[in-house]
Homo-oligomer: A and B are copies of this chain.
Amino acid sequence: MTPPTPLHLSLAGQAVDVLREQVLTGEIPPGSRVNEVEVAQQLGISRGPLREAIRHLASEGLLTLVPHRGAFVPDATPEDVKALFELRTALECAAAEHAASRRTDVDLVRLQDVCAESRRNYRAGQPFPYRLDLAFHQTLLDAARSPYIAEQVRLVQQRVVLLRSSLEDDPPHQHASMDDHDELVRAIADGDAAKAGAVMRRHLSRVCAQMLTSLTH
């Protein structure tokens, strides 16, 4: 019973996944260069597919290309963080408004479930895992039913993860985030688009501020 498709994904596609993981986890540290021949040998593929993978990640903002020099993992400046969060805010506020208008009851249950699980984890003494934060925003995006906005948010969140890779969270911030999420769900439950957008704006503003302080500490 071999898989129906002999190659589930092209070598370039596989290389994208592997490289993305290595960049996001910080295995390839920010500021470092990606050597084409070295990484190609390491992955056991030729330079062609690897180059395509590098270009793809560059288009996602996870690498920056310098002609005749190669690809670098970008390191964030405070200005970058601010500008990136302006983009994220524009996208996710719109998503929150659309979610408030278009959500189904199933969407609402899913959102409430994610919030409840976050609370449970937190009360059990465990930290609010970033995984659940991502899950919340993803669920909200599904409820918004705006595929292009969702796609762009996904890309922006990836870049945020990249900036965030070496930061630790502090409990007060986690608590505030969970409160924001709860309030957001209430606004969406009420179908109050304006409030949903406003709460999302305040939430992201807080997250951005926290990242900026962590960045400079």
Contacts and interface: CB of A to CB of B under 8 A. Distances in A.
A152 interface: yes
A83 B148 contact: yes
B83 A94 contact: no
A47 to B, nearest CB: 10
Contacts of A87: 91, 146, 148-149, 152
A57 to B, nearest CB: 10
A59 interface: yes
Interface string A141-177: 0000011110010000000000000000000000000
A28 to B, nearest CB: 21
Contacts of A95: 90
A48 interface: yes
B83 A147 contact: yes
A174 B210 CA distance: 45
Interface residues of A, number: 25
Contact of A91 (B51, B59, B83, B90): B90
Assembly stoichiometry (copies): 2
Interface string A72-88: 00000000000110110
A216 interface: no
Chain A binding surface, main DSSP class: helix
A211 to B, nearest CB: 15
A89 B83 contact: no
A152 B152 CA distance: 9
Contacts of A67: 10
A65 B59 CA distance: 15
Interface string A118-162: 000000000000000000000000000011110010000000000
A186 interface: no
A110 interface: no
